[in-house]
Amino acid sequence: MNFGGPGQYSSARRLGQIRERLRELRARSSELDGSADGGPPATGLVHSAARAGQAASRRDRATEATIAAYASAGEAHERAAALHEYLAEIGIGDVERHLDRARVHHGLADEDRTAAARLRADSRTHRT
C-alpha cells in the first residue's frame, strides 16, 4: 500500500471536492424548499400557490369568454330565426323551408343559452 503516492492525494482531494459540493447542494435544496429548520417548504408552497392563483384567474377569464361566445351565438341564432320568420311572413322563397329553418335556429339558440347557463353555474361552483 502506498499511502503517500500521487493517486492517494488526488483521491483525497476529489473526495473533499465531492463533500463540499454535497454541502452546497444540501444548502441550495434547503434554500429552495425553505426547510432549513425542518419546517414546511414555504418557498415552494408560495410559488405553487401563486401559480394556482394564476391558473384559476385564466380559467375564470376563459370561462367568461366562453359564456360570452355562447350568448353571442344564441343571439345570432335568434336573429337568423327572426329573418327566416320575416321571409316566410312576406312570402319570399320557400315559406315552409323558412319556417323550418327558424325552428332550427330557435333550437340552437336554446342550446347555446343552456350551455352558457351550465357554464355559469359550474364556474360558481369552482370559485367557492
Residue 110 lies in a domain: yes
Residue 91 lies in a domain: yes
* Selection from 52, 75, 65, 73 nearest residue 126 by Cα: 52
* The pLDDT of residue 92: 96
Domain that holds residue 62: 58-127
Residue 27 lies in a domain: no
Tell me the pLDDT tens digit for each residue of 30-85: 776 655 455 555 667 777 888 888 898 998 899 999 999 999 999 999 999 999 99
Tell me the pLDDT tens digit for each residue of 89-113: 999 999 999 999 999 999 999 999 9
Read off the C-alpha cell for 21.
459540493
Q: 78-83 long-range CB contacts below 8 Å, 24 or more apart? A: 78/105, 78/106, 78/109, 80/105, 81/105, 81/106, 81/109
Residue 100 lies in a domain: yes
* The pLDDT of residue 86: 98
* Selection from 13, 119, 8, 123 nearest residue 69 by Cα: 119
Residue 72 lies in a domain: yes
Work out how many domains the chain is built from and give that number.
1
Residue 94 lies in a domain: yes
Residue 39 lies in a domain: no
* The pLDDT of residue 93: 96
Residue 96 lies in a domain: yes
